[in-house]
Amino acid sequence: MATNARTLAIIPATIGALLVLSSASYAQMATTLEQAELAGLSPEKRAEVQARAVNGNTVTEVLQTILLNSIKLKHPASRIVALDFGRGIAVVDLVDGKTGVVHFDTTTLAIRD
């Protein structure tokens, strides 16, 4: 009877550990949309994005961070509101409270404006 009790106690712990491990690996997998975005990047930029998309950072978050940092060099933007990666357009909140549109190269993420 004691063996059954120990076995029953181990089962929830094992299931919990498997869930944690599976969710960690799932979080690192690029979604279909992210895979498409990566495929459109230059090999250098793709390698940079993939290297930064670790420890819980998604491909989308890395792309947005790279773009926002580049946008801030030319426009005083505070955040990206909308992103049309296929067309190379980012809609940003400007620091003066207005909204602006910024065009970027979809292969290098270089700002065009």
pTM more than 0.75? no
pLDDT at 102 over 70: yes
Where does the pLDDT of residue 77 fall: very low under 50, low under 70, confident under 90, or very high at 90 and above?
Answer: confident
Q: What is the pLDDT of residue 101?
A: 93
Terminal Cα-to-Cα distance of the chain (whole angstroms): 74
Average pLDDT score over residue span 77-91: 89
Is the dihedral angle over the CA atoms 60, 61, 64, 70 positive or is it negative?
Answer: negative
SS3 for 42-103 is: CHHHHHHHHHHCCCCCCHHHHHHHHHHHHHHHHCCEEEEEEEECCCCEEEEEECCCCEEEEE
Both structure tokens of 85: 């990666």
Average pLDDT score over residue span 5-20: 53
